[in-house]
Structure 1
């Protein structure tokens, strides 16, 4: 029996090792980064908010005018079968729609491409290592790169256009920071590679609402904050205001709520994880255990 414990992939109805999965080099998903995708976490043997993640994925597929010849229920079945085959109890699960190959030589017409769906899973991914998140991570504000404008690439459609994020990550790493946060061309905070950002002002939490992916974990944070009696605001967030916050934290499907101790040369919470972020981090792992948010996997 094939060992899939290091990761599995679903390709054209076949489940195999993720290390063997491939798409053609001429697929526009490769040559044009023409892909919609989404990632749903599996925690302790169940998907978290599966319906919400798949609904957002299907909306992204429609927004990019793709036809993957399967509906939301088909996608859920493929994901469940794949994770069950892998045996992974905690997993990072990706669903992908690629533009596909263009069978017409020299054609630049995307309508000629054969769109297709595939999926893969690996052991659960923390975008910031848990020990670093517990201490409070460090974030660099990119100085030379701005977020791709939303009228060029719609950030609410989860996609593989990471040129700005990758350039920003080099900047952050070169300066000794864990990750990067990008501004828009008006100087407002947007998002980083795989996460949304939040600022805490007393009993208020503010998160950017423009130029960002409306993350499912972001939604979870706003719902948890409201449950605890905190005020929540989704609006433009200028960098100057962001840096005056009492606390800063991030949210991602890869790790939940991630406290931030430092942004550039500004230190928050005496260089440690702040109390609001710590509380929401603990609540997140309580939330993903709630039955109403879980879709158990039949291993």
Structure 2
């Protein structure tokens, strides 16, 4: 049985509970991070810890503990659950004020902290990396502060179901005629030797994998343009791909029924996936 972490205690998942008055449950008043595990070690932990701090600060929420303490909890869950490849999910909410109220609870209210593991054997060898993803485009109907990694995930969940209903793997969201991001990933196109991805702002999540991949791309002498692009531009690109903590770099081969490039994973996405996985393994903690 899986061991999880709730508010300072390691528990069997069947014994883990959170109050019905918790603001994460009632108000989606919480933030989260997902850190990948390869070979029993954490990928990009520092980046996730920094983004967690930023999300908490933006929502004026207490930080539950130090980075070192959080790292030890992550490592302990890896040990207890014997995770080789997979993910660790961390969620922090504004806690349990004892009743439901729109106003923030008193400052002394303790945050709720939950972590659990998900085992994903062979994560780095996903078959989809060889075939590529098919995506559809949908209207972006989320709230305006997507740069904060909150647990408000209803619309992205609906987007994934729209994609499934259309026989696709995922959806890219479009606002004012331009792609913002995928339902749980950052979006990219490639034209020649230039990688194009949306610039940072309130409109997209500041992806930890995104930052690493763009750094590796520049080190490999690839040109990077951080700007918005349209679905039509994406359909006419040589390649397309996504990045996220759980998929690393994943090629996109079809957008709204139109093949991208040759309709197969392209060389830039393949190379960036190799570089990212290799470099991440070297730096894992």
1:159 to 150, 157, 171: 150
Shift of 1:12: 2.0
Measured after TM superposition, the shift of residue 286 of structure 1 is 0.8
- Once the two structures are superposed, the pairs formed by residues 175-194 of structure 1 within 5 Å of their partners are 175-184=166-175, 186-194=176-184
Deviation at 1:110, TM superposition (A): 1.1
Which of 161, 164, 175 does residue 170 from structure 1 map onto? 161
Tell me the alpha carbon deviations over residues 204-253 of structure 1, each in whole angstroms, 9 at most, x when there is no partner. 00111241111111111101211211011112223332222110001111
- Residue in 1 that maps onto 2:257: 265
**Which residue of 2 is the match for residue 65 of structure 1?**
60
Question: Is the CA contact (8 Å cut-off) linking 1:195 and 1:251 kept in structure 2?
Answer: yes
Cα distance in 1 for residues equivalent to 2:4 and 2:247: 22
Match of 2:112 in 1: 116
In the TM superposition, what is the alpha-carbon distance from 1:16 to its structure 2 partner?
2.5
Matched, 1:87 2:82: yes
Distance 2:230 2:33 in 1: 28
- Per the TM alignment, residue 19 of structure 1 is displaced from its structure 2 partner at its CA by 4.7
Deviation of 1:80 after TM superposition, in Å, equals 1.6
Structure 1 residues 52, 148: CA separation in 2 closer, same or farther (over 3 Å shift)? same
- Structure 2: which 5+ residue stretches go unaligned? none
Task: Determine if the alignment matches structure 1 residue 230 to structure 2 residue 226.
Answer: no
In the alignment, the residues of structure 2 paired with residue 37 and residue 115 of structure 1 have an alpha-carbon distance, to the nearest angstrom, of: 13
Any idea what SS the aligned residue of 1:111 has? coil
The alignment status of 1:200 with 2:190, answered yes or no, reads: yes
For the 8 Å contact 1:67–1:116, the answer to whether it is kept is no
1:68–1:116: 8 Å Cα contact kept in structure 2? no
Residue 125 (structure 1) shift: 8.0
Give, in whole Å, the separation in 2 of the partners of 1:284 and 1:179: 22
Deviates more, 1:82-91 or 1:246-255: 82-91
Partner Cα distance (1:202, 1:174) in 2: 33
TM-superposed CA distance for 1:167, in Å, is 2.3
Q: What per-residue deviation string (whole Å, max 9, x for no partner) do you get for residues 140-169 of structure 1?
A: 101xx324242xxx1111111122212222
Please give the secondary structure, in 1, of the residue aligned with 2:105: helix
**Residue 135 of structure 1: aligned partner:** 131
User: Would the alpha carbon gap of residues 19 and 275 (structure 1) be closer, same or farther in structure 2, given more than 3 Å must change?
Assistant: farther
Task: Give the count of matched residue pairs.
Answer: 281
Residue 32 (structure 2) pairs with residue 37 (structure 1): yes
Normalised TM-score (structure 1) = 0.87
